[in-house]
Every structure is written in structure tokens, then in C-alpha cells.
Amino acid sequence: RDFRQHCKILIAVGDCATMGGIPALRNNIPLSECLQEAYIDGPTVHNPAGTIPNDPDLPLLLDRVYPVNEVVKIDYFLPGCPPSADTIWQTLVALLNDKPVDLPYELVKYD
């Protein structure tokens, strides 16, 4: 939200930003179950205290993973994990030259 307030143009870069990506797979599982599995019950977890981290310096996890356009207005979306260098380059060159961002299909397809 802070970026949106201070930017003329805001670009969502990558699948996690554009649609939640792999982290969004947890959206169908209650957050408490995710934390329990990650910090207490996971097969490779060594946590003798059996506690889930709650340091105030750690960012709070939300109830679900949101793509950024559900939180703020996004002007351009660059899909990919990560987007190709050519996709990023062509987008930046177009914006810097005050041209429309018109990416060819080859740069935004992921077969």
C-alpha cells in the first residue's frame, strides 16, 4: 500500500505477485494447521520446546495468500517464475520511452 501511494506505476512481477503462486496452495488449509505442521509436527522438525515462532519482528501471516491486485491497484502484470529477463526489459524500455507495454505472446506464454 505504501508503494502504491508513492508510485505512478506499479508492476506485479512474478507468479507469486500476480496470482499468489505456490504459497497460495495453503489457502485451503487453516493457518493454524499450516503452522502446526511447519513448526511442530513436520517429519523433519526438531523443536523440543514445541513452540511456534511469535517474535514481534516477524511479519504476521494473513488468513490467506493474496495476489497483490486484491490489495492495491496494479498497472502491469509480468507473469512467470520468474518472468524472463526479456519480458522485464521490454516492459521497462516501453515505460521509459512512454510507449504502451505490448509484450509478444512468446514472452508471456508458459507451456
Q: Report pLDDT for 111.
A: 67
Q: CA angle at residue 58 from 61 to 66, to 5 degrees?
A: 25
Alpha-carbon distance 53 to 27, whole Å? 20
Q: Report pLDDT for 106.
A: 86
pLDDT beneath 70: ranges in the chain? 111
Alpha-carbon distance 16 to 13, whole Å? 8
What are the phi and psi torsion angles at 77 (to 5°)? -120, 130
pTM: 0.76
Q: Report pLDDT for 40.
A: 96
Share of the chain above pLDDT 90, in %: 82
